[in-house]
Amino acid sequence: MMKKIFMTCTAMTVLLAVAAGAQTADELQWEDVDVAYTYTAPSEGKYKDDVDQSEVKLGSKVRVLNMDEAGFDLSVGVFGQVNYWSFDDSRLDDLDLYKVEIPVAAKFQATDEIPVTATLRPGVHSDFDALSGDDLWLSGSVVGEYLYQEDLTFVLGLGVGEDFGDVQAFPIVGARWQATDAIMANLVFPRPKVTYTVSEDLKLFVAGEPTGGQWNVSHQTRTDYDLEQEGYRVGLGGEYRVMDGGWLYAMAGHEGNRKLQIAVDDDTVLGAGGEDLDDAIFVQIGFRMN
C-alpha cells in the first residue's frame, strides 16, 4: 500500500510541475490547497460483519493563464484520493483504491453579469495493480453565477460524474448569502456549507458532501471488477487559522444513504439494490490554504 501511495504522490507532483512550467515561479498563483483525512466507523449491512473505511484527499491548482481584460482565466490542478476498505466479510479482500485526476478549469464571462466556470477532470481510478482503459476516467461540470445583490449570488450549473455513486448528471444549484457579518450561507447543492465566524481566527460550520466513487479493481485469480461507493455526509465542524491563509479544520457527523456495490461485466455480484451498509459516524481532519 505504501508503495502505491508513493506512486500516487509522485505522479501528482510530476503533473503539477508540468502545469507550473507554463509560467515562471514569480507568476504562479497557487490556490485552494486542501489535504483531508476521513475515517468512517465500522458498520454492517448486507455484508457479513463490519466494514470500515479510511480516506485521504489532497488537491491544489495553479493558474496558468489570466486575461483580466478579456474576463478569461485558466487553471490546471492535481487531485489525489486514497481509499482503504477493510472487510470482515470473508468473501472480500481488503482494498486500497486510488484516484489521480488533472482538473482543468476555464472561467469566462457568458455575459457582463454572469461568469461561467467549465471544468474537465480526466484521471485514473484504480487499485494500480494493473492499468487498462477501464481505469481511465472523465468527469466535469459547468457552473454559472449571478450577483443579484452585494450579499447574494445565485448559482446554477450541471455536473457529470460519480459523486452519487452511479455515473450521472446532477444539478449544481443554490445561492451564496452573506446573511450577516458573521454568517456565510453557501447553500449550493450538492456541497452546502453554513459558516459562523466567531473571531478572525476561529469559524464554526455545518456542511454536507456526497461520497460517491467508482474504481476498476484488478484481481489475480478472476476477472477484473468495478467497485461503486455511494453515501452522503452531514457534519458539524470548526476551522482555526494557524497562519496567513492557512486553516486547520475538523468535522464529525453522520454518513447515510450508504451503498457499496461490486459488479463484474455490469452484472452485480454484491450489493444489488437497497442500502447495503448501515449508517455510520465519521470524523475528518484537514488543512487548507487559500
| pLDDT tens-place string over residues 4-14 | 444 444 444 44
CATH number at residue 62: 2.40.160
Q: What is the pLDDT of residue 48?
A: 60
| pLDDT tens-place string over residues 115-138 | 999 999 999 999 998 888 889 999
Instruction: State how many domains the chain has.
Output: 1
- As given in the structure block, the three cell numbers for residue 203 are 469559524
Residue type for position 145? E
Give the residue with greater pLDDT, 158 vs 13. 158
Instruction: Tell me which residue range forms the domain holding 250.
Output: 2-289
Prediction pTM value = 0.86
